[in-house]
């Protein structure tokens, strides 16, 4: 079958509905992935989805494809992806597919393909799946697989309550931009005794506020206003699959997720002294400084939840955090990201310390920091652009530290004693990601001008679309 090869990305599949993805293509992918699972010796798979318009239909045709090749399926319906990963253990299913395009716009959908507990296909596996799909490499079973419908939400909630308890009854604003978390998170928090203020929790697959990206400035700015209006203790936003968080403290200040990595590092190191803490190349220098200050071992790795999960099989970090809001409490939970578990872990730490989030954040080294900026760049051009950027940075800053090896993966990180910036290409779509920071405003402004001029020089960069682009003005 002819399929757009660019939808097979670094750690999942993302494509435009009715263009890259049709029910026929999705069923075909179910047959192919089911065949792959059987070759791994896996005959059962969990199916789960987000709240996007096409997700119910895609779930059903995936089940049809998987059953066709003899894989049994358990459909747990609409849940956040943390529940999907947890259900793998609960239902003893190594295989599975989660239907979502995460923080991509409403016209997209996609899939994460699970091949083991807490583990999904990454680069080589995704390309193997692509090759199988293009070659129609699937095998019809003599005995079709069977499908079972099962609701695991209450059991998941009960399991979380056994793992985490906190006494403080927080007042919390939840604003998931009309996506999946709105139907799930408020109910859970009320079970923990919290007062929940629901904002934009009604499900609307058109995403009327735009992309459900908790790292987008306008999303957290709206959340900030809501927290102040409600005089809440904290506010949370989520993306459509619920593996990522956006957070605002009690003062309405936006806490970018790399600073939250530092907060979680403090909490984890109190429990696990001298533990390794993993973080990605987009994170602030404050993260490494905080880990060292509290006696931990910092380990920086490339961007991508599947990549850090895979690397942690070797590194054995107690905690992993990414700027995008993926957090892994590997020592206490499982080696996967779960936005709900992250939220509860933060509330638990705030309750134990009896300090507001702003007070804890104030103890972390302070940098003037940009939000995560996304700028258009075609898929077929973005990889080659990174090679040019690395060469240019070494020419312009011979005394700076330039990281473009396997730790950077798909980008380049620049560091001095007082500043940092990263340019990388996204594994999720046709765009670049940029993040920069400095200790003082003058240095921050110089970096901003340099990055803007660098990107304008390269015609591969498409300034007609992106997120937080105004931060380079």
Q: pLDDT by residue (tens digit) across 32-62?
A: 999 999 999 999 999 999 999 999 999 999 9
> What is the domain-level CATH number for residue 340?
3.40.120.10
Split into its structural domains, the chain has a count of 4
In order, the DSSP letters of 85-119 are HHHHHHTT-SEEEEE--TTS-TTEEEEEEEEETTE
Question: Is 224 one of the annotated active-site residues of the chain?
Answer: no
Least confident of 33-37, 216-220, 296-300: 216-220
Same domain? 262 vs 354: yes
Mean predicted confidence (pLDDT) in 443-452: 96
Residue 30 has pLDDT above 80, yes or no: yes
Neighbour count for residue 115 (Cβ, 10 Å): 18
Give residue 229's pLDDT. Answer: 98
The listed range with the strongest mean pLDDT (223-237, 305-319, 388-402) is: 223-237
Q: Are residues 135 and 10 in the same domain?
A: yes
Identify the CA nearest to 393 among candidates 455, 437, 444, 442.
Answer: 455
- State the pLDDT confidence band at 211, using cuts at 50, 70 and 90: confident
pLDDT band at 427 (very low <50, low <70, confident <90, very high): confident
pLDDT at 10: 81
Are residues 178 and 132 part of one domain?
no
CA 186 to chain centre: 21
| CB contact set of 431 (below 8 Å; sequence gap of 6+) | 374, 375, 376, 377, 382, 425, 465, 466
Same-domain status, 266 and 402: no
**Is residue 14 annotated as a catalytic residue, yes or no?**
yes
CA distance 50 to 181: 9
Q: Are residues 145 and 160 in the same domain?
A: no
The Cα 10–Cα 8 span in angstroms is: 7
**Where would I find the beta strands (DSSP E) of 59-208?**
72-78, 95-99, 108-116, 119-120, 147-149, 171-174, 195-198
Domain boundary pick from 98, 120, 151 = 151
Domain edge (last residue) among 151, 169, 193: 151
Of 244, 326, 336, 424, which one is the catalytic site residue? 326
CA-angle at 99, arms to 96 and 101, nearest 5°: 135
Residues 111 and 14 in one domain: yes
Instruction: State the sign of the Cα–Cα–Cα–Cα dihedral 426, 430, 377, 323.
Output: negative
Question: Is the pLDDT reported for residue 166 higher than 90?
Answer: yes
Length of the chain measured in residues: 473
Which of 254, 272, 294 lies at the terminal end of a domain, its last residue? Answer: 254
What percentage of the chain exceeds 70 in pLDDT?
100
Question: Mean pLDDT score of the chain, rounded to an integer?
Answer: 95
The pLDDT of residue 11 is: 82
Catalytically annotated residue among 102, 324, 370, 426: 102
pLDDT the model gives residue 409: 85
Is the pLDDT at 428 greater than 80, yes or no?
Answer: no
Provide the pairing of β-strand 245-248 with 234-238.
antiparallel
User: At residue 333, does pLDDT exceed 80?
Assistant: yes
Residue 291 · residue 263 · CB < 8 Å: no
Catalytic residue among 9, 14, 52, 153: 14
Residue 10 Cα distances to 43, 279, 306, 434, angstroms? 25, 18, 8, 18
Res. 324: pLDDT tops 90: no
Q: Are residues 100 and 223 in the same domain?
A: no
265 and 234 both lie in a single domain: no
Domain residues for 443?
A: 368-472
Residue 215 has pLDDT above 90, yes or no: no
Cα gap 303→305, rounded to integer Å: 7
User: Both 300 and 404 in a single domain?
Assistant: no
pLDDT at 217: 85
Q: Are residues 353 and 379 in the same domain?
A: no
Same domain for 25 and 125? yes
Tell me: the pLDDT tens digits for 335-392?
889 999 999 999 999 999 999 999 999 999 999 999 889 999 998 999 899 889 989 9
Q: Quick one: 10 and 108 in the same domain?
A: yes
Q: Give me the CATH number covering residue 440.
A: 3.30.310.50
* 177 counts as catalytic: no
Judge whether residue 114 has pLDDT over 90.
yes
Q: Distance of CA 333 to CAs 85, 188, 238, 274, 338, Å?
A: 11, 18, 20, 19, 10
């Amino acid at each position: 079958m002819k399929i757009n090869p660019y939808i097979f990305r670094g750690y999942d599949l993302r494509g435009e509905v009715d263009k890259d993805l049709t029910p026929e293509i999705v069923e075909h992918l179910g047959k192919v992935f089911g065949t792959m699972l059987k070759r791994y010796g896996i005959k059962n798979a969990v199916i789960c989805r987000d709240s996007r318009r096409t997700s119910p239909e895609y779930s059903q045709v995936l089940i049809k494809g998987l059953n066709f090749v003899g894989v049994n399926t358990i459909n747990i319906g609409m849940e956040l992806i943390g529940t999907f990963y947890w259900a793998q253990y609960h239902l003893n299913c190594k295989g599975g597919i989660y239907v979502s395009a995460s923080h991509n716009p409403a016209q997209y959908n996609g899939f994460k393909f699970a091949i083991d507990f807490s583990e999904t296909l990454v680069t080589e596996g995704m390309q193997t799946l692509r090759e199988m799909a293009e070659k129609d490499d699937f095998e019809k079973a003599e005995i079709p697989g069977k499908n079972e419908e099962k609701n695991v939400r209450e059991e998941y909630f009960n399991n979380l309550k056994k793992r985490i308890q906190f006494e403080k009854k927080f007042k919390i604003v939840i604003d998931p931009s009309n996506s999946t978390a709105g139907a799930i998170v408020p109910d859970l928090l009320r079970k923990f005794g919290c007062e929940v203020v629901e904002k934009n929790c009604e499900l609307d697959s058109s995403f009327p506020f735009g992309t459900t990206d908790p790292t987008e400035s306008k999303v957290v700015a709206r959340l900030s206003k809501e927290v102040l209006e409600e005089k809440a203790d904290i506010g949370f936003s989520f993306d459509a699959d619920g593996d990522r968080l956006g957070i605002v403290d009690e003062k309405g200040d936006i806490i970018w997720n790399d600073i939250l990595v530092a907060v979680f590092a403090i909490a984890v190191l109190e429990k696990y002294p001298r533990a390794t803490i993993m973080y990605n190349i987009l994170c602030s220098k404050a993260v490494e400084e905080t880990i060292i200050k509290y006696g931990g071992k910092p380990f920086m790795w490339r961007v991508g939840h599947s990549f850090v999960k895979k690397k942690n099989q070797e590194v054995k970090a107690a905690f992993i955090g990414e700027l995008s809001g993926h957090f892994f409490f590997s020592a206490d939970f499982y080696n996967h990201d779960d936005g709900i578990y992250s939220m509860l872990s933060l509330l638990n730490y705030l309750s134990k310390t009896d300090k507001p989030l702003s007070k804890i954040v104030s103890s972390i080294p302070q940098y003037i920091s940009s939000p995560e900026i996304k700028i258009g760049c075609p898929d077929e051009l973005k990889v080659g652009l990174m090679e040019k950027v690395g060469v240019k940075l070494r020419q312009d800053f011979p005394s700076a530290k330039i990281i473009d090896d396997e730790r950077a993966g798909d980008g380049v990180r620049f560091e001095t004693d007082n500043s940092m910036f990263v340019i990388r290409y996204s594994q999720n779509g046709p765009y670049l990601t940029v993040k920069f920071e400095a200790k003082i405003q003058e240095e921050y402004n110089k970096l901003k001008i340099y990055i803007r001029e660098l990107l304008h020089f390269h015609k591969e960069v498409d300034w007609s679309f992106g997120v937080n682009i105004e931060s380079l003005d």
